[in-house]
Amino acid sequence: MTGDRELATPPPDRHIRIPTTAPPLLLVIVDAEEEFDWKSYRRTAISVGNIRAQTRAQELLGRFKVVPTYMVDHPVASQVEGIAPLAEFLADGLCQIGAQLHSWVTPPFEEEISPRTTFAGNLPAALEFAKLETLTAAIENGFGVRPTIYRAGRYGFGPNTTEALRRLGYQIDCSVLPGINLKPRQGPDFSRFGTEPFWLDQDRTLLELPLTAGMVGLLGRSAIAPALYPWIASPLAAKMRIPAILSRSRLLDRIPLTPEGTTLAEAKKVTRWLWARGHRTFCVSYHSSSLIVGGTPYIRTEADLAIFLGWLEGYLEFFFGEMGGQAATPHDIRNLALASVGG
């Protein structure tokens, strides 16, 4: 890490390269969190009624033997309404429980809420650690398991996050958002990161599992795409509508693997694209509040919810059918990394 909130790209020997002879591996990670207005952040917005609604997606995932990881934040871990539904899944071996830090609703409350402080990695090291310690203890008390998988809320990974996670015994982080620069929102810059897993630390104790996103298109085949995309993702390029122009012309389009804002056709396209280029780990990610109408900007009507669930079913049929894929958990990938030559 550098001191300006940027996560340094890892040296080549820290990248995890799963053999191309291996089948594609699918992870499902759910941000299990309170319902809140994504345009504002309040300490009092701690309703977690959406957690009970996870059953519909959980049943779909179970049909395909997928064990999702619920990244639980403090409002979920500290209220019976949040704990009980996921504890049932956990007791039956149907899910894993990780941690997600929403700093504005996690004690201790020493900071003023602002766009900058909603990225936990921007907080003073001692305060970020204290909040993460509080969250870890709440999950352990509520679910009877100590979490070892982490995601920073708002993808707010900072210069002190690696050390905080190591101190608390975490083994996996899932905060990197490939190809995205959050600096204009006062967050970290991930624009130079791809989708490959890598070790965050030299000791190879903390594995990074980035979200899955691919730069699809004619320019995506070229070696200049990784260097070009940070500029394309800049505020100036957005103001000039460069991303939209490149997407429509099929030159370069960033497609994230999620039912939130990505069509099923696009999800299949980016999966095939990444597979053809040697990628073997794929992560579908979404927010728990997308399982209720009005819970996220993506689900405004019952029809939207039906499309969301249809996306999940259609993608799972595609991945385990056409792609010949296998279900995996974050720890399955870490075990593969540890067993690899590089690990």
pLDDT reported for residue 215: 81
CATH number of the domain to which 27 belongs:
3.20.20.370
pLDDT reported for residue 93: 98
Residues 132, 135: Cα–Cα separation, whole Å:
5
Residues 117, 104: Cα–Cα separation, whole Å:
8
Confirm whether 306 is domain-assigned: yes
Which residues make beta-bridge pairs with 285? 29
Q: How far is CA 59 from CA 62, 80, 82, 106, 204, in A?
A: 5, 21, 18, 30, 35
pLDDT reported for residue 232: 58
Q: 145 is in which domain, residue-wise?
A: 21-213+274-339
pTM: 0.91
Residue 342 pLDDT > 50: no
Mean pLDDT of 267-296: 97
Mean pLDDT of 219-235: 55
pLDDT reported for residue 217: 56
The pLDDT tens digits for 16-74 are 989 999 999 999 999 999 999 998 999 999 999 999 999 999 999 999 999 999 999 99
Confirm whether 304 is domain-assigned: yes
Confirm whether 13 is domain-assigned: no
pLDDT reported for residue 343: 44
Interior angle at CA 279, CA 1 and CA 10, nearest 5:
15
Mean pLDDT of 157-165: 97
Confirm whether 261 is domain-assigned: no
Residues 98 and 71: beta-carbon distance below 8 Å: yes
Residues 10 and 198: beta-carbon distance below 8 Å: yes
Mean pLDDT of 150-158: 97
Residue 341 pLDDT > 60: no
Residue 1 pLDDT > 50: no
Confirm whether 103 is domain-assigned: yes
Residues 184, 119: Cα–Cα separation, whole Å:
12
The pLDDT tens digits for 290-310 are 999 999 999 999 999 999 999
Contacts of residue 211, defined as CB under 8 A and 6 or more positions apart, other chains included, come to: 174, 176, 177, 178, 195, 256, 257, 258, 283, 285
Confirm whether 64 is domain-assigned: yes
User: What's the chain's average pLDDT?
Assistant: 91
pLDDT reported for residue 240: 64
Confirm whether 303 is domain-assigned: yes
The pLDDT tens digits for 130-148 are 999 999 999 999 999 999 9
Residues 181, 3: Cα–Cα separation, whole Å:
17
Question: What angle in degrees, to the nearest 10, is found between the helix axes of 55-63 and 302-320?
Answer: 20
The pLDDT tens digits for 173-202 are 999 999 899 999 999 999 889 999 999 999
pLDDT reported for residue 4: 46
Residue 233 pLDDT > 70: no
Q: How many structural domains does the chain have?
A: 1
Residues 102, 110: Cα–Cα separation, whole Å:
14
Confirm whether 5 is domain-assigned: no
Q: Measure the N-to-C terminal CA separation of the chain; round to a whole number of Å.
A: 20
Residue 198 phi/psi, 5-degree rounding, is -155, 160
pLDDT reported for residue 334: 97
Question: Lowest-confidence range among 10-14, 60-64, 85-89, 306-310?
Answer: 10-14
